[in-house]
């Protein structure tokens, strides 16, 4: 996960203009929150993001994390992932993709769209329904868990 200063500057510039396009101020907090979310494939919860951001901005509050997550969702900079968890999980990967979910530890891995043969419907949909997109969730067990193995804490 090495990243040099130049790359970071470029990303910050890109983020700054994406904010500008939407009339959002580019604050230090926003940049750190976004950089951390976009820098992980872990689909972090607000709480996990808070913990990470706090390492850089100890004074940040959880409310700011929540407010900005909402702002980013509205702006289309983040997406919410559906999981059986009772807490929100976020995804900064805006490309169309699918998910691999470990039934034991809950870990979610992304699968690129082109790893899956396009899904077809064999039968007509209920009348009037128009499909815009679809998402496949594969449920199974990751290497660390394996079926029958208890979830590690």
Partner DNA sequence: TTAACTGCAAAGCCTTTGCAACACG
Partner DNA sequence: CGTGTTGCAAAGGCTTTGCAGTTAA
Q: Which residues bind DNA (CB under 7 A)?
A: 16, 19-20, 23-30, 45-47, 57, 59-64, 66-71, 86-88
State the Cα–Cα distance between residues 20 and 63, nearest whole angstrom: 23
Contact region with its own copies (CB under 8 A), list: 7-15, 16-24, 29-37, 107-115: 107-115
Q: One symbol per residue from 10 to 49: x for binding its own copies (CB under 8 A), - otherwise; what is it? A: ----------------------------------------
Query: Is residue 76 exposed (0-12), middle (13-18) or buried (19+ Cβ within 10 Å)?
Result: exposed
Residue 102 phi/psi, 5-degree rounding, is -85, 120
State the Cα–Cα distance between residues 38 and 149, nearest whole angstrom: 32
Interacting residue ranges for its own copies, rule: CB under 8 A: 80, 82-84, 86, 88, 100, 102-103, 109, 111-112, 114-117, 119-123, 125-144, 146-147
């Amino acid at each position: 996960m090495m990243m040099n200063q130049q790359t970071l500057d470029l990303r910050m510039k890109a983020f700054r203009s994406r904010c500008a396009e939407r009339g959002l101020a580019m604050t230090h907090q926003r940049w750190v929150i976004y950089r951390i979310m976009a820098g992980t494939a872990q689909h972090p919860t607000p709480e996990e993001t808070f913990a990470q951001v706090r390492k850089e901005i100890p004074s940040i509050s959880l409310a700011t994390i929540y407010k900005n997550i909402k702002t980013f969702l509205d702006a289309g900079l983040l997406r919410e992932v559906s999981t059986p968890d009772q807490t929100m999980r976020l995804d900064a990967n805006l490309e169309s993709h699918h998910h691999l979910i470990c039934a034991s530890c809950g870990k979610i891995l992304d699968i690129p769209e082109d790893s899956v043969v396009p899904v077809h419907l064999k039968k007509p949909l209920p009348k009037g329904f128009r499909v815009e997109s679809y998402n496949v969730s594969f449920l199974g067990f990751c290497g660390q868990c394996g079926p029958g193995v208890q979830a590690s804490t």
